Amino acid sequence: MYRKHFGLARNPFDITPDPYFLFPTPKHNEALASLYYGVQRQMGFVVLTGEVGTGKTLMLRCVMELLSRCHTEFAYVFNTMLSPIEFLQYVTGDFGLPAVESKGQLLVQLNRFLIERHQRGLATALIVDEGQLLTWEVLEEIRLLTNLENSRKKLLQILLVGQPELEQKLESVELRQLKQRIALRCRLESLTLPETAQYIYRRLHLAGANGRGRTLFPEDSIGSVFEHSKGVPRLVNTICENALIAAYGRQLNTVSKEIIQEIAADFHLLPMDAPGVEVTTR
Ligand SMILES: Nc1ncnc2c1ncn2[C@@H]1O[C@H](COP(=O)(O)OP(=O)(O)OP(=O)(O)O)[C@@H](O)[C@H]1O
Ligand SMILES: [Mg+2]
């Protein structure tokens, strides 16, 4: 609705994780490399964690695009409220294998499928998002899947992604066997102030702002976005999107610091040094 007013070709601050808008911080680059090379080098089991809204699902969307280009087949599980058998059925279903009832048959099918792909020199991955919500029983099932290997290589590459609660789960005594199998581990962080500025300007540029990024969001507005979002990308997007709508509503060509403060107050986002900081990202 505001695109015409600001001369933008698309919405710069949509909150859906879209690889087109990737801003490659060193941490995001490292995460993407770990996920991608973890699969390519058949390392077995890779874990990525990060606070709410820091870009984990975006990393997975990016890695899935890369994997699709190199004939790696993957199953993507994002609904983690599944029982162990439903989990296995979902995974085999996503690989296009016929539906069967028993766990034994599911595992036999999966094993045959993985061996056949391995013999053709093709990698296969299981990608699990929202891992912090998985039950211990399903995490144990994932551990058992890491056993699918021939004498030299893991047949199934597993990417497990989740919020920091996942790290705590992996620290528990019950899951120490799973923890020992992690080959690569990385963590996403929120953005620094300079990164937040670059992030906002890059999104505006990719949305067609044509060098008008600094007019749209002057430096003091960016400082205020950072203060209230603490550099969490999803919050940055929410604040900036709403700020653009507010500026459009007032027929302004620039988003002032005052507008950012108003939006942050509407979303109950307190500045960084305020007591009892409340963060709402969803
Ligand atoms: N490095 C980045 N470059 C561009 N956009 C980013 C980046 N990191 C995060 N985002 C954007 O921030 C928003 C939140 O990202 P995403 O949904 O991937 O977070 P998440 O870590 O999966 O959150 P949750 O823990 O709630 O699942 C999305 O709009 C995403 O595109
Ligand atoms: Mg996510």
Query: Is 80 exceeded by the pLDDT of residue 277?
Result: no
pLDDT in the model for residue 274 = 59
pLDDT tens digits for range 167-189: 999 999 888 999 999 999 999 99
- pTM here is 0.94
pLDDT in the model for residue 148 = 85
User: Per the structure block, which two tokens stand in for 139?
Assistant: 């995490």
Distance CA 36, CA 57 (A): 14
Over residues 87-94, the mean pLDDT reads: 96
- Mean pLDDT over each residue of the chain, to the nearest integer: 93
Task: State the distance from the centre of ligand 2 to the C-alpha of 16, rounded, in angstroms.
Answer: 10
pLDDT in the model for residue 76 = 98
Distance CA 2, CA 179 (A): 48
The answer to whether 259 and 221 have CB atoms below 8 angstroms apart is: yes
CB-side exposure of 142: number of CA atoms within 13 Å?
36
pLDDT in the model for residue 106 = 95
Q: Which residues contact 82 (CB under 8 A, 6 or more apart)?
A: 90, 138
Q: Which residue has the higher pLDDT, 250 or 152?
A: 250
Options 1.10.8, 2.60.40, 3.90.1570, 1.20.120; CATH for 3-18+191-266 is 1.10.8
Task: State the distance from the centre of ligand 2 to the C-alpha of 21, rounded, in angstroms.
Answer: 16
Map tokens 């899947």 to a residue.
Answer: 145
pLDDT tens digits for range 195-218: 999 999 999 999 999 999 999 999
Q: What percent of the chain has pLDDT over 90?
A: 86
Q: Which residues contact 112 (CB under 8 A, 6 or more apart)?
A: none
Q: Which fold has domain 26-188?
A: Rossmann fold (3.40.50)
pLDDT tens digits for range 56-85: 999 999 999 999 999 999 999 998 789 999
**Centroid of chain to Cα 121:** 28
Mutational test site, ligand 1, from 58, 60, 165, 191, max ligand atoms within 8 Å of CB: 58
- How distant, in Å, are the alpha carbons of 2, 93, 119, 122 from that of 114? 49, 14, 9, 9
Q: pLDDT band at residue 275, thresholds of 50, 70 and 90?
A: low
**Protein residue whose Cα sits closest to atom 31 of ligand 1:** 17
- How distant, in Å, are the alpha carbons of 18, 58, 114, 251, 264 from that of 66? 14, 13, 20, 41, 36
Query: Is 90 exceeded by the pLDDT of residue 165?
Result: yes
Domain ranges (residues) in the chain: 3-18+191-266, 26-188
pLDDT tens digits for range 19-44: 999 999 999 999 999 999 999 999 99
Nearest to 84 by CA among 134, 129, 153, 35: 134
DSSP classification of residue 208: T
The closest ligand to the CA of 53 turns out to be: 1
Task: State the distance from the centre of ligand 2 to the C-alpha of 78, rounded, in angstroms.
Answer: 9
Over residues 230-250, the mean pLDDT reads: 98
Query: Is 90 exceeded by the pLDDT of residue 250?
Result: yes
Q: Which residues contact 181 (CB under 8 A, 6 or more apart)?
A: 44, 45, 143, 146
Q: Which residues contact 123 (CB under 8 A, 6 or more apart)?
A: 39, 40, 42, 67, 70, 72, 73, 117, 157
pLDDT in the model for residue 282 = 42
pLDDT in the model for residue 217 = 98
Query: Is 90 exceeded by the pLDDT of residue 247?
Result: yes
Task: State the distance from the centre of ligand 2 to the C-alpha of 167, rounded, in angstroms.
Answer: 15
**Protein residue whose Cα sits closest to atom 28 of ligand 1:** 17
CB atoms within 10 A of CB 79: 11
**Centroid of chain to Cα 218:** 29
pLDDT tens digits for range 3-16: 999 999 999 999 99
Query: Is 70 exceeded by the pLDDT of residue 280?
Result: no
267, 238, 55, 80: CA torsion to nearest 10:
60
Atom of ligand 1 nearest to the CA of 236: 12
